[in-house]
Structure 1
Amino acid sequence: MDWAQLDVNPKVVAAVRRANIQSIKEILCLSGSDLQRLTKLSSSDVRYLHKTVAAVVKSDPVVTALQMYNGECPFPTQNRKLSMGCPVLDLLLGGGIPLMGITEIVGESSAGKTQICMQLCLSVQFPSSYGGQDAGAVYVCTEDTFPNKRLQQLIAFQSMLRADVPADIVNNIKFGNNIFIEHVADVDSLNHCISKRLPILLSRGLIRLVVIDSVAALFRCEFGASDSIAKAKCLQKFGAMLHQLSHRFSSPIICVNQIADAISGSSLAQSNFGLLDKVLPALGLTWSNQLLMRLMVSRTQFCAEGKFPDDKVRALNSGTVLRRMEIIFAPHLPQSFCNYIICKEGVRGMKETGI
């Protein structure tokens, strides 16, 4: 290394060289007493050397708890979120989906899981100042064919759904060209997609969101009841690969999961904090430990005509099914819920929330 970049006395540099210390890393790895013994320097010189070397190599400034509490933490990646494309749902989730980690959307059939994922694929393409990542998304299908017709409908209504974004920005985004569709039929194909294809797209900056719909389909088909150990190892490996991608490229991973019947009164049912009475997310505890956040979506009832978010959708969607999104667990959010509807414009949250 170039010792000239250190603002220390030349005699200190000479002593370090005589001790055959070759790098800054070695200095930081040695305790004060060990460094003093090797270099024969005074304790004050050793303390100053440690302080100077630390100042050279540090990449981020020290942050106090008060700065973090006031939202002044200079770590934009940790503070930023991916918008859900709806201000009400963003409010529920504290700004949206965290950029690093695996978020699971679990629910019954027709609860709106795929609709939410498609809306996220559009939201990620907006500039960061509007809750996006200014990049595309990969949608990995493991079950049915991708609902391309519905996606085109959502694209057509983006200007209405994202009224907070200027029209010229919406019109300049080529939504259809920035969503990459991958079809996988087995676990090996899924692992190949995650380990080989996705890193290329992420490293080139083409995508900043990965959606897997659904993760349970393949594992349910390929692993039987007697293959629990092999299934657990495969899920752990799968989760580790997703976490590595998410943290390396600061890109959220959205995994859609299915539900299974729960035995009433069982310890498994109680582990969901009373929010789930008859159903549980599939894949068990091994998969749950891989997640940062779990969202449960469900159908509840038909929406009353007077409760739509705004007048534009009230006339178009009378009798729409009311759905609910619940936060089952998240390290930064309390358990809460929000009702929403799915209309032509997309997923629209209702203003009533509860905790």
Structure 2
Amino acid sequence: MLVALAEQNSTSERLKQGITQVLSIIDGLHQPWLDGMELLEDAQWNKRILSMGCERIDMFLQGGLHEGHLTELVGPSSSGKTQVCLRAASSVAKNYLDSVLFLDTCNSFSPKRIAQIVGQISDSDNKEVNKVIQRVMNSIVYHAVFDIYTLLNVLHRLEFNLRSQKGSQVRLLIVDSISSLISPILGGNGTNGRALMTSAGILLKKLAQQHNFAVLVTNHMVAGERGILKPALGESWKSIPHVRLQLSRDHGSNICNMSIIRHPLMASGEEVKFMIL
């Protein structure tokens, strides 16, 4: 209708130009249709599998974190979620020249713990280990994020930088924890909180798929029916992650258990035990 209106008025050249620009932007936002062969080739050639820095977890997950996937770690407090994130960040930063972006929502990031993990997974002497630690630290970009609006702003800026090729390539994006940002806006019967939650989840998946990196987020647990613990964020969130992993740990033990809630390549309920050192 706008195009037809502009055509009727021969003097509306600026309106025609504006409409053309808007239509061009809309066309650019549409995702192209892809056939199965194109998806297979993209998975084979553009999507790597990233080691999480723990041999038992990597073997369990058929290699580790898949680029293009949003992976969620669900678990109660002290179940090992942050430790798994720090170990994954250390491993990816050590093995690739690309950066790891760590979005910290609850002051969980520990550079001392990163250095300790790098020392554990390095086979070199002390002098070489210090060089590796320095390289790893330089590859991890840290950002404190304390509300959902800041998270969306950071993600939109990241999207702009990746599109314009500003800065280094991201290989892994971690949000620890995403539930700390979303839970405060889900109260009541309003839909705004759920809409913001869905927007954040979809944007994370879009960035991972289009720019070939892995996303790892953490989510806490809340009491459900009969006091049984269940993942927070509700029904609207549970369909967003490609992979959902549940962590648990006995009190006072360094042995953790990881089980599959959902995985495109694995059956739900499969589990593995691993040790946090």
Q: Say whether the fold is shared (TM-score over 0.5).
A: yes
Q: Which residue of 1 aligns with 2:207?
A: 245
Normalising to structure 2: TM-score of the pair?
Answer: 0.76
> Pairwise CA RMSD of aligned residues?
3.0
Per the alignment, residue 155 of structure 1 pairs with 118
CA displacement at 1:74 relative to structure 2: 8.2
Q: After TM superposition, give the deviation of residue 301 of structure 1 in Å.
A: 6.2
Residues 1:123 and 2:91 aligned together:
yes
Taking a change above 3 Å as real, the CA distance of residues 339 and 189 of structure 1, as seen in their structure-2 partners, is: same
1:206-355 alignment to 2 at 5 Å? Answer: 206-227=169-190, 229-264=191-226, 278-300=228-250, 320-335=253-268, 336-343=270-277
Q: Distance in 1 between matches of 2:152 and 2:107?
A: 19
Equivalence map 1:150-229=2 (5 Å): 150-160=113-123, 171=132, 174-197=135-158, 199-200=160-161, 203=165, 204-227=167-190, 229=191
Residue 76 (structure 1) shift: 2.6
Between 1:196-205 and 1:144-153, the stretch displaced more is 196-205
Count of residues in correspondence between the two structures? 236
Structure 2 counterpart of 1:137, from 94, 100, 108: 100
Q: Secondary structure at the match of 1:75?
A: helix
CA contact (8 A) 1:94 1:333 kept: no
Deviations 1:70-118 (A, max 9, x none): xx9982334x311111222111101111111210001011111111111
Q: For residue 76 of structure 1, what is the aligned residue in structure 2?
A: 45
Structure 2 unaligned segments of length 5 or more: list them. Answer: 1-34
Q: Kindly state the Cα deviation for residue 146 of structure 1 after the two structures are TM-superposed.
A: 2.3
CA contact (8 A) 1:326 1:338 kept: yes
1:96 is aligned to 64
In structure 1, the gaps of 5 or more residues are 1-59, 128-132, 265-276, 303-319, 344-355
Counterpart secondary structure, 2:230: strand
Contact 2:118–2:133 (Cα < 8 Å) also in 1: no
SS of 2:182's equivalent in the other structure is: helix
Distance 2:37 2:108 in 1: 49
Q: Partner of 2:93: helix, strand, or coil?
A: coil
Q: Which consecutive aligned stretches of 4+ in structure 1 deviate over 3 angstroms post-superposition?
A: 60-63, 170-173, 201-206
Distance between the aligned counterparts of 2:159 and 2:103, measured in 1?
10
**1:242 & 1:280 partners in 2: Cα distance?**
23
1:226: Cα distance to partner?
Answer: 2.8
Structure with more relative contact order (C-alpha pairs < 8 Å, separation 6 or more): 2
What SS class does the counterpart of residue 84 from structure 1 fall into? coil
1:300-351 per-residue CA deviation (whole Å, 9 max, x = no partner) reads 366xxxxxxxxxxxxxxxxx432101111111112311111111xxxxxxxx
Distance change (3 Å), C-alpha of 1:199 and 1:91: farther
TM-score (norm 1): 0.60
